[in-house]
Structure 1
């Protein structure tokens, strides 16, 4: 039984908890920035290279989250799940972990191929996906800064398909979607903390995605948000090295094997 049981439905938690988590976790990075020794880009680079200002980023993210919340409410309604039925048929923890792992694979697969196609289709890149790449230097709050069409196709549909194929309940979906949001925000934070647990378990991390936002890496490292499998299998993986900067922090430098 989840801690929110009796206070709010699983469907409401699955809809709005990821949004709240996004702004809390992303806001921590934005409001309490780390020292330069952890940054992958200097503050000066961030100000000079990024082609969009923070108020515009915030408005874009809120628009995407509005669409996501609307689709989530519809999805939970159509799936026929309810708080009472979920409590009766909630699977064991090992089964839920297996469902989450399956959802991770499905989401990675969906996002890899849609993301890659948006880079290779000139029309879609110019008019849709390029909006996300206005953040040449990624930042935590900008993780979901996308064109509305991309947000719908890549993230919203990706999440819905992962939920449906994995067969998870609305209660399990709360944990999966919150985890996915935290991981996505972390991948865009632009920081390299030595003690970051995501760097220990996932090769797809903030440095990995930083390469993709660089000019020489836009045709590589499409995988998000969890694994790097599809990049490695299909030849779009670009390895990198972290080079300490003289003024503090690190620089991610791509190199060919």
Structure 2
């Protein structure tokens, strides 16, 4: 970033939300949540028999396949839970991160395919990405994925042993895995929002989180480009909370970690692609620094840390696009106001 950047870009620029507005937003959020839960309950009750039948039929047809794959892993690497959780989780994380991150990185390096530029959230940035910054990012990320992640995974294993967790060679049921994933998502939202916002405090930001914000227009692999302490407490710890509370099976942990990595790669990608979850909120966070600290946006709404985002055109684009029309074309920026002189906007 430019040398003129202020030493801290945290909460000091925020305007405190008035209590009446906070109460109104909270009431609105609760109404939406109750409406969704109520509608889901009614639909599920109406379709319960049919839905249950099809889910059981699907799991019965595919369950043996997944169990067979898990049996092959146990046969090849042994059923030592320490090895599976410590080294297995690290290897799975590394493969998922770089198999997807490399695709995004190649697009940023070569600006290919050409049409992909239409989906840029911040057009004109990283076209192409600066090679020196990219190399620095790759080195930092690999350091975090090895030197930091392996000891952290060891700690997670011992904490899981104290809590007690599923070490059965049998995979958990589809319904239980789905329930655990929901719990993991909720705990990650809580853990990430508050730890992330803490690292924006003026006493911590310049020492830790400023490194991550060197990328005002992020690319996918900057997802875990962070100070090692921040990587432990704000990246990995929130993801681990759910499995620790639930005592999850190692296979469920691998699935959850993979989903969390895919989510953060998308959030940092700089592209709002069709049929992908919207990365507009976190991209806006990198652009403005003191907005959109969370993953789901629920706590941002409750704490008023997304007011500028909701007032921006980016919020109009913050949805999953179900067509090939780029969000910037579907929701173009407002034309600047001013006088028209000789056919030109002034």
TM-score for both structures, normalised by structure 1? 0.81
Aligned to 1:155: 235
Among candidates 94, 98, 108, match of residue 189 of structure 2: 108
Q: Which residue of 1 aligns with 2:175?
A: 94
Summarize deviations over 1:177-222 as a string: whole Å, max 9, x none: 01111111011110011232xx2xxxxx31111111113xx22110
1:128 aligns with 2:231: no
**Alignment pair present for 1:17 and 2:92:** yes
> How far apart are the structure 2 equivalents of 1:39 and 1:173?
32
SS in 1 for 2:211: helix
Displacement of 1:242 = 4.0
Residue 285 of structure 2 aligns with which residue? 212
Instruction: Quote how far apart the aligned CAs of 1:83 are.
Output: 11
Stretches (4+) displaced over 6 A:
47-52, 81-84, 251-255
Pick the aligned partner of 1:176 from 250, 256, 263. 256
1:250 maps to 328
Calculate the TM-score normalised by the size of structure 2: 0.61
Mapping of 1:64-83 within 5 angstroms?
64-66=144-146, 67-80=148-161
Q: Deviations over 1:8-55 (max 9, x none)?
A: 35424323101111011011111145521111123x422699897001
* Structure 2: segments with no counterpart, 5+ residues: 1-66, 319-325, 335-346
Q: Structure 1 pair 85/213, CA: closer, same or farther in 2 (3 Å)?
A: closer
1:7 maps to which residue? 76
Q: 1:58 aligns with which of 128, 138, 148?
A: 138
Aligned-partner Cα distance in 1 for 2:133–2:126 = 10
Which is higher, the Rg of structure 1 or of structure 2? Answer: 2
Q: Residue deviations 1:86-119, cap 9 Å, x none?
A: 215x432211111111111111100100111222
**Residues 30 and 140 of structure 1 are in contact (CA less than 8 Å); yes or no, is this contact kept in structure 2?**
yes
Q: Please give the root-mean-square deviation of Cα atoms over the aligned residues, in Å.
A: 3.1
Q: Deviations along 1:151-171, whole A, 9 cap, x unmatched?
A: 111012223323211221111
Q: Which residue of 2 is the match for residue 31 of structure 1?
A: 106
Mapped to 1, the partners of 2:238 and 2:96 lie a distance apart of: 19
Q: Which of 273, 281, 285 is residue 193 of structure 1 equivalent to?
A: 273
**Higher RCO, 1 or 2 (CA under 8 Å, sep at least 6)?**
1
Instruction: Tell me the number of residue pairs that the alignment of Structure 1 and Structure 2 aligns.
Output: 237
Quick one: distance in 2 between partners of 1:72 and 1:80? Answer: 12
1:128 CA displacement: 0.8
- Work out whether residues 209 and 221 of structure 1, in 8 Å CA contact, stay in contact via their aligned partners in 2: yes
- In structure 2, relative to structure 1, the CA distance for the partners of 1:80 and 1:161 (3 Å cut) is same
Task: From the superposition, tell whether residues 151 and 253 of structure 1 become closer, same or farther in structure 2 (CA, over 3 Å).
Answer: farther
